[in-house]
Each structure stands twice: as structure tokens, then as C-alpha cells.
Amino acid sequence: MQGRTHAVDGAARALACELEATDAPAVVGFDSEDTPQFLRLSPDDGPALVQLAVEDDVLLCPVRRGRAPPRLVTAALETPVLLKAGVGVLRDTDTMVEDHGVHCKSLLDISLAHTVLVVSGLLGPEHDLGQITSPEHWLQLPAEMRRGDGLPMGGLQQLQQQPRQEQAPPAEDGVLRSVLELPHVAETVARRSTMLRVNSIGLARLAEHWCGVKSWKSRISRSNWGRLPLASDQIVYAAVDAWAGSAIVAGMFKAGAIDHAFATAIATEA
């Protein structure tokens, strides 16, 4: 990643320009870092930092419970025009309404997108994640290789009973959306959406697959995000997390694996 990281009171023109867009939904990377719970029974203070990435520009916004984020950040999270892409985005936004009064819309969970592509048969061997090439192949793997990777653990045996669909051509925008109408795909989307808060393919795995980026995860993720100013390694870690969300979706678009209509159709809101 080569780009700029902006403080909230710094230049955020890229994000402002995306908010003014009226054509196809733009994609911004989204992530948040929680205040760590150092004591087992201490209350959950929710996110301490919200990150938004527009291509190679990343905005880092410290937040506090009971206080609304800056208007630019609130507008970005609430507008349906911007797709906020990341892994575990529903989990990241669960407390935004209660703690900050922000109603997040157009949340695109990349893990869900990848799962839908696998289940619908749109991903061939050149797109597989690790050793996974199909739901049937996934079911044959040892349990330790299936955990948190590919598809959810429960209820997949019924996929073996479904007739395999012909691979849909990734042609004009909107064609891929039709696969969501297939009964077994629609059922998977509904079931998977309820599980994304606790079980999803890791961001690092998806970034390595779709972008060729090696893992950057470290103990920094468990550092104190509520203590300001942030250290330089915290800033880099948080920025890359958000950047990866937009970069993975860009990789999916470039490969013809998804289009805007497909991404918009599986997007949800908090």
C-alpha cells in the first residue's frame, strides 16, 4: 500500500468527492478498532477508531461513546451511495446506532460476497481460496481446515443435493445479480448474513488471495486504540485494514467476479 493517511481534521477531499457522486455506487474500505477490554467483566466500550479508505487515501477517526462522529464520517456511513466494504462490517457497526446515533447503510461484507461466489459456482479453480474449489470439496476437507474458511459449518450437506448451476458469465452489469435468485444461493445469503458477526473468512486471507498482499496482522490489533495520540505502527495497521477492504473489492471487480449490481444486492445495513 502506498498512499496517505489523514487525520479527521486534515484533507479528506477524496471521501467528500465520493459522497457527491450520483452514478454507480462507489466503494470505500471500512473497518473499526475496539477499545480493548483488559478486565474480563469490564463493559464493552465499542469502537474507539473508525477507518474509511478511498482507494489509497485513508481517513482515521477516533470516536467516543455518546458522541457523534464528525459529520463527514457520519454522512459516509449513513449514505446508501457508498458501499462500505470490509470483513465483519455488521459486527463493526452493531454499536454505532446505540453509542453514536449513526445508522450505517450499504454494508458490503467481503466474506459474504466470496461465499456467495463459491456456493453459486461462479468461482473456478483460478479464484479458489486456499484449497477450496466448490461446496462439495469444502465438505470433504478435515474440520480443522474448514473452520473460519470458505463456508459456514452448519447446513451445508443440503448443498450436495442441489443441482450444480452452469457458470454465469460475468458480462454486463446486473447479470451476476441473477444468481442471487437461485434458491440455494438465496438461502445461503440469508443464513450466512446472520453468522457474519461471529464467523467469517479473515481479511488477511482474502487480501492475499485477491490482492496478493501478505498478512500484516500482529499483536497491534489488541493494543489500546482509545489512547491518543496513536503510535505510528497503530496508524499503519489501522490504515491497511481499511485499505484492504476497498482493494479486495477492486480485485473482485477487476477479475469480473462481481459487479456493482451484485455488490449492492447483497449489501445490508446495521
Answer with the residue of higher pLDDT: 157 or 3.
3
Residue 31 three-state SS: strand
For the segment 223-234, what is each residue's pLDDT rounded down to a tens digit?
888 888 999 889
Q: Check residue 131 and give its pLDDT.
A: 43
For the ranges 3-12, 155-164, 181-190, 252-261, the one whose mean pLDDT is highest: 252-261
How far is 9 from 59, CA to CA, in rounded Å? Answer: 10
Structural contact between residues 90 and 270, judged by C-beta atoms closer than 8 angstroms: yes
Rounded to two decimals, what is the model's pTM? 0.73
pLDDT surpassing 50 at residue 10: no
- Comparing CA positions, the residue from 238, 252, 249, 213 lying closest to residue 26 is 249
Q: Check residue 215 and give its pLDDT.
A: 67
How far is 54 from 19, CA to CA, in rounded Å? Answer: 11
Backbone angles phi, psi at 84, to 5 degrees: -95, 110
Q: Check residue 69 and give its pLDDT.
A: 86
Q: Check residue 190 and give its pLDDT.
A: 62
Q: Check residue 29 and give its pLDDT.
A: 94
β-strand pairing of 26-34 with 57-62: unpaired
The residues, any chain, with a CB within 8 Å of residue 88's CB and separated by 6 or more, are 109, 111, 196, 197, 200
For the segment 44-95, what is each residue's pLDDT rounded down to a tens digit?
667 899 999 988 888 999 998 878 788 888 999 999 989 999 988 887 787 7
For the segment 141-172, what is each residue's pLDDT rounded down to a tens digit?
555 444 433 333 333 333 333 333 333 333 34
Residue 32 three-state SS: strand
Structural contact between residues 199 and 152, judged by C-beta atoms closer than 8 angstroms: yes
Per-residue pLDDT, averaged over 262-270, amounts to: 84
32: cell is 473499526
How far is 203 from 110, CA to CA, in rounded Å? Answer: 8
pLDDT surpassing 60 at residue 209: yes
Q: Check residue 111 and give its pLDDT.
A: 84
**Residue 164: C-alpha distances to residues 59, 122, 136, 258 (Å):** 43, 11, 10, 19
- Comparing CA positions, the residue from 86, 67, 70 lying closest to residue 19 is 70
Q: Check residue 50 and give its pLDDT.
A: 93
- Specify the range with the lowest mean pLDDT, choosing from 77-86, 128-137, 173-182, 237-246: 128-137
Domain parsing of the chain, residue ranges: 4-111+211-266, 112-192
Q: What is the largest CA-CA distance in the chain?
A: 55
CATH number of 4-111+211-266: 3.30.420.10
| Mean of all residue pLDDT scores within the chain | 71
Task: Provide the b/e sequence for 55-92 (b: ≥16 CB within 10 Å).
Answer: bebbbbbbbebeeebbebbbbbbbbebbbbbbbbbbbb
Residue written as cell 457523534? 68
- Comparing CA positions, the residue from 185, 176, 180, 168 lying closest to residue 253 is 176
